[in-house]
Copies of this chain bind each other. A is one copy, B any other.
Amino acid sequence: MGEGRIVTAALLVIGDEILSGRTKDRNTGTIAEHLTDIGIRLKEVRVVADDEGEIVAAVNALRSRYDYVFTTGGIGPTHDDITADSIAKAFGVAIGVDPRAEKLLSEHYARRQVELTPARLRMARIPDGALLIPNAISGAPGFRIANVIVMAGVPDIMRAMLEAVTPELDTGVKLLSVTIRVERPESEIADVFLAHQRRYRDVAMGSYPSIRNGHFESELVLRGSDPARLAEAAETLKAALKL
């Protein structure tokens, strides 16, 4: 891969607790950074409730549109964990206790001398045709079906699954970025910045304001896939801003 191809992804965060504000989502930032690093462009994120209809609709909208869909949340042992069943429904495939997943769980619990109860076995329910994603932390696997990658919501487990699945992903041209911090408000640099964007149409330029010690600052972010071109655009922008 890599030569010129752009690989895209969406992220679907499944969880009432994010929508209620009780839990602050930390996975989006982690996944966004990781995908950027490996050359996959995250184009959209959705957060939906623990509701089968919502999950099915979102998975089907996103999987037809992007190269990959990553999901987080809803694959635990309790009754509100409905992601696996919803994914099976979205693909129109059957779901049941998967012998490979059952083996992983029974080994995991045997090592800890803990019984593999029916509740725990619920975590071995995997849609037909899916590949398992190992979970080094708590045994219960994630899975991949076609271009949909289903991961846990607990950040440590999500990260382990994301690492595990990464070698199997097609990747494309990396989007590189350069950030220029300017201790001036956006409105003071907007004209120079626009002129510069027009000069370098192949470099995407965005400005992100922040407030520091009561003063407005701007972070100018230049993004492109050609390192030399990006460096030139950044250097000439700095010169134009007298930095």
Contacts of A45 in B (CB 8 A): 13, 18-19, 45-47
Q: Is the CB of B120 within 8 A of A22?
A: no
Looking across the interface, which residue of chain B has its beta carbon closest to that of A118?
A: B191
The tally of residues in A whose CB lies under 8 Å from a CB in B reads: 71
Q: Is the CB of B32 within 8 A of A21?
A: yes
Copies in the complex: 2
Looking across the interface, which residue of chain B has its beta carbon closest to that of A48?
A: B44
Given contacts A122-B190, A190-B119, contact A76 B207 (CB under 8 A): yes
Q: Is the CB of B206 within 8 A of A17?
A: yes
Q: Is the CB of B34 within 8 A of A79?
A: no
Cβ of A228 to closest chain B Cβ, rounded Å: 21
CB under 8 Å from chain B, chain A span 64-122: 76-81, 117-120, 122
Given contacts A156-B211, A207-B78, contact A43 B24 (CB under 8 A): no
Cβ of A85 to closest chain B Cβ, rounded Å: 14
**Most chain B beta carbons < 10 A, residue from A41, A44, A153:** A44
Residues of A in contact with B (beta carbons under 8 Å apart): 13, 16-25, 28-36, 41-50, 54, 76-81, 117-120, 122-123, 137-138, 153-154, 156, 175, 177, 179, 186-191, 193-194, 197, 204-211, 216, 221, 223
